């Protein structure tokens, strides 16, 4: 099953006047033109009820997270999406429809981002000269500090230079590669599409099953350990360009835990198992100082401060996750019609990962053992309705299938206990290509 495209939700909010360095020219039919000067950025937030927001570059040059916009081409933005259009030399952007917010920002972090990109490219050139692995950068920080946007920009700039970096998204809450509650890996081979991102490129997706790393922290740590070993081994088998292009890794929101405890442990674990060269800390100065003190001298720790912008509230973040799940089955504007078919429950095997629970203030990183996370068989029952299941790539049961990729997802929309069957929603027609499925706690909520 191919991964479908996903997008994001947006917010309804008031933008403070000082953010608005706007140069709007009034027009009819809900259209506005924004004139951006050199190194300005246009930020757009699309609401949940907005289905016809489009942007167009009418003059000049502009890019979205490193992907160049085509002149006079309209781009349709999905509901709940948010984007930033940047120009180095000035441009005019036409916006049609009714976005929740549209404003121009003059003070951006773009110069810092480009300096970071140049530093990575210098390391890639050195890796080529010495035939070694390319730089591995880990981007960390709380929610809504544009971790995924920075990673996308770094990937696109690298690709435009002919590089083929590996991208790993460890953020199970707002994953930019696949569904929430998963971890994704892809080799970026072409610039991200402005609307759909990297979704048309080959990916590997691992089912974690929860939308917060803290819900099953033992399993999350074990998954990171195993994934680090797998990725490092796989990269050695790749061609020279992929090996020397390095990796760009996006982390979870660690701010919900004390820096000295689980969140901080997770950062150091990733640094160790993925052999990180650079840790880029967004906004959290305390975390930056702590890492500077604790990281080995071989790891460079850099800091990008917070710039003024719009933050989404918790409700909007939740709605954004739900929209991404629906989009997998129905498309960004409900334009897709998924397949439904019955499956005999006896023909498949459904498992759930059960791991030891821990207290938030427990220091336990060095004590984790693989047998602390196990698979448990899931029996047929009405509670499975609306449940998202990942189809394991495994053909036969193995104890470590929890660490193996999934090839896609289905949703159980009905359970018939009398016939022992389930009715599933699927992006692909039946029958199911695999018989081993993994369950977490992710569900498809019914549309309002």
Identify whether 13 is part of a domain.
Answer: no
pLDDT band, very low/low/confident/very high, at 144 (cuts 50, 70, 90): confident
The reply to whether 362 and 432 lie within a common domain is yes
Q: Which range, 130-134, 210-214, 323-327, is most confident?
A: 130-134
Look at residue 316 in the predicted model and tell me its pLDDT: 64
Residue 258 has pLDDT above 60, yes or no: no
Here the CATH number for the domain that contains residue 43 is 2.60.120.1030
Q: Which of 284, 304, 324 is the last residue of a domain?
A: 304
Look at residue 16 in the predicted model and tell me its pLDDT: 32
pLDDT in tens, 29-46: 588 999 999 999 999 988
pLDDT in tens, 322-378: 888 998 998 876 778 999 999 999 999 999 999 987 766 665 555 788 888 999 999
Q: Give the domain extent around 100.
A: 31-105
Residue 214 has pLDDT above 60, yes or no: yes
Identify whether 388 is part of a domain.
Answer: yes
pLDDT band, very low/low/confident/very high, at 195 (cuts 50, 70, 90): confident
Look at residue 152 in the predicted model and tell me its pLDDT: 95
Residue 314 has pLDDT above 70, yes or no: no
Q: State how far the Cα of 152 lies from the Cα of 176, in Å rounded to an integer.
A: 9
Residue 133 has pLDDT above 90, yes or no: yes
Q: Which range, 18-22, 232-236, 425-429, is most confident?
A: 425-429
The reply to whether 117 and 172 lie within a common domain is yes
Helix ranges (H only) for 310-437 are: 314-330
* Helix-helix angle 262-273:217-236, to 10 degrees: 20
More confidently predicted of 25 and 127: 127
Q: State how far the Cα of 113 lies from the Cα of 119, in Å rounded to an integer.
A: 10
Total number of domains constituting the chain: 3
Identify whether 22 is part of a domain.
Answer: no
The reply to whether 273 and 294 lie within a common domain is yes
Look at residue 361 in the predicted model and tell me its pLDDT: 60
Q: Which of 65, 85, 105 is the last residue of a domain?
A: 105
Here the CATH number for the domain that contains residue 329 is 2.40.30.330
The reply to whether 290 and 323 lie within a common domain is no
More confidently predicted of 111 and 79: 111
The reply to whether 282 and 382 lie within a common domain is no
Q: State how far the Cα of 424 lies from the Cα of 385, in Å rounded to an integer.
A: 9
**Cis peptide, bond prior to residue 333, ω within 30 of zero:** no
The reply to whether 84 and 226 lie within a common domain is no
pLDDT in tens, 268-299: 889 999 999 999 999 889 999 999 999 999 99
Identify whether 11 is part of a domain.
Answer: no
Give percent above pLDDT 90 in the chain.
Answer: 64
What residues contact 146, with CB distance under 8 A and at least 6 apart?
282
Identify whether 20 is part of a domain.
Answer: no
Q: Which of 105, 127, 145 is the last residue of a domain?
A: 105
Average confidence score pLDDT of the chain? 86
Residue 13 has pLDDT above 60, yes or no: no
3-state SS of 157-192?
HHHHCCCCCEEEECCCCCCCCCCCCEEEEEECCCCC
Identify whether 350 is part of a domain.
Answer: yes
Identify whether 310 is part of a domain.
Answer: no
Identify whether 290 is part of a domain.
Answer: yes
Q: Which residue has the tokens 């990729």?
A: 405
The reply to whether 434 and 285 lie within a common domain is no
The reply to whether 245 and 284 lie within a common domain is yes
Q: Global pTM?
A: 0.88
Lowest mean pLDDT segment, chosen from 103-107, 165-169, 318-322, 409-413: 318-322
Number of H helices, E strands in the chain: 7, 24
Look at residue 20 in the predicted model and tell me its pLDDT: 37
Look at residue 308 in the predicted model and tell me its pLDDT: 55
Look at residue 217 in the predicted model and tell me its pLDDT: 87
For residue 402, is it left (φ>0), alpha (ψ between -120 and 50) or beta? alpha
Residue 408 has pLDDT above 90, yes or no: yes
The reply to whether 84 and 130 lie within a common domain is no
Total residue count of the chain as it appears in this document? 448
Lowest mean pLDDT segment, chosen from 58-67, 119-128, 267-276, 329-338: 329-338
Q: State how far the Cα of 400 lies from the Cα of 398, in Å rounded to an integer.
A: 5
* 158-194: burial string, b at 16+ Cβ within 10 Å, e else: bbeeebbbbbbbbbbbbbbbbbbbbbbbbbbeebbeb
Here the CATH number for the domain that contains residue 193 is 3.40.50.300
The reply to whether 273 and 347 lie within a common domain is no
The reply to whether 297 and 200 lie within a common domain is yes
Q: State how far the Cα of 58 lies from the Cα of 36, in Å rounded to an integer.
A: 12
The reply to whether 138 and 206 lie within a common domain is yes
């Amino acid at each position: 099953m191919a991964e479908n495209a996903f997008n994001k939700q947006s917010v309804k909010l008031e933008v403070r006047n000082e953010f608005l360095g706007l140069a709007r020219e009034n027009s009819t039919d809900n259209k506005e033109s924004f004139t951006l000067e050199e190194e300005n950025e246009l930020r757009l937030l699309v609401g949940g009820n907005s289905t016809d927001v489009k942007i167009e570059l009418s003059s000049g040059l502009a890019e979205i997270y490193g992907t160049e916009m085509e002149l006079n081409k309209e781009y349709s933005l999905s509901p709940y999406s948010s984007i930033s259009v940047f120009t180095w030399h000035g441009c005019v952007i036409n916006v049609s429809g009714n976005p929740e917010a549209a404003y121009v920002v003059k003070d951006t972090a773009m110069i810092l981002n480009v300096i970071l990109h140049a530093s990575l490219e210098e390391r890639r050139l050195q890796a080529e000269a010495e035939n070694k692995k390319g730089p591995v950068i880990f981007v960390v920080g709380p929610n809504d500090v544009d971790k995924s946007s920075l990673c996308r920009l770094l990937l696109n700039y690298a690709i435009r230079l002919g590089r083929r970096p590996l991208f790993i998204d460890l953020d199970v809450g707002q994953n930019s590669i696949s569904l929430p509650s998963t971890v994704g890996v892809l080799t970026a081979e072409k610039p991200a599409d402005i609307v759909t991102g990297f979704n048309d490129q080959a990916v590997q997706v691992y089912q974690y099953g929860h939308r917060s790393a803290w819900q099953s922290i033992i399993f999350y740590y074990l998954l990171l350990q195993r994934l680090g070993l797998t990725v490092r081994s796989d990269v050695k088998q790749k061609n020279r360009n992929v090996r020397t292009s390095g990796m760009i890794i996006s982390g979870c929101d660690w701010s919900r835990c004390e820096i000295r405890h689980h969140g901080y442990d997770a950062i150091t674990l990733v640094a160790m198992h993925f052999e990180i060269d650079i840790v880029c800390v967004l906004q959290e100065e305390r975390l930056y100082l702590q890492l500077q003190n604790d990281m080995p001298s071989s790891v460079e720790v850099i800091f990008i401060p917070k710039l003024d912008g719009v933050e989404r509230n918790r409700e909007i973040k939740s709605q954004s996750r739900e929209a991404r799940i629906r989009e997998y089955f129905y498309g960004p504007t409900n334009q897709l019609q998924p397949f439904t078919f019955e499956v005999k429950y006896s023909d498949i095997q459904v498992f759930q990962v059960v791991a030891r629970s821990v207290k938030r203030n427990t220091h336990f990183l060095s004590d984790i053992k693989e047998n602390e996370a196990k698979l448990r068989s899931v029996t047929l029952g009405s509670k499975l309705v609306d449940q998202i299941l990942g189809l394991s790539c495994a053909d036969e049961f193995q104890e470590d299938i929890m660490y193996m990729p999934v090839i896609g997802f289905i949703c159980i929309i009905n359970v018939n206990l009398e016939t022992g069957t389930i009715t599933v929603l699927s992006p692909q027609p039946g029958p199911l290509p695999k018989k081993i499925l993994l369950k977490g706690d992710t569900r498809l909520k019914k549309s309002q």
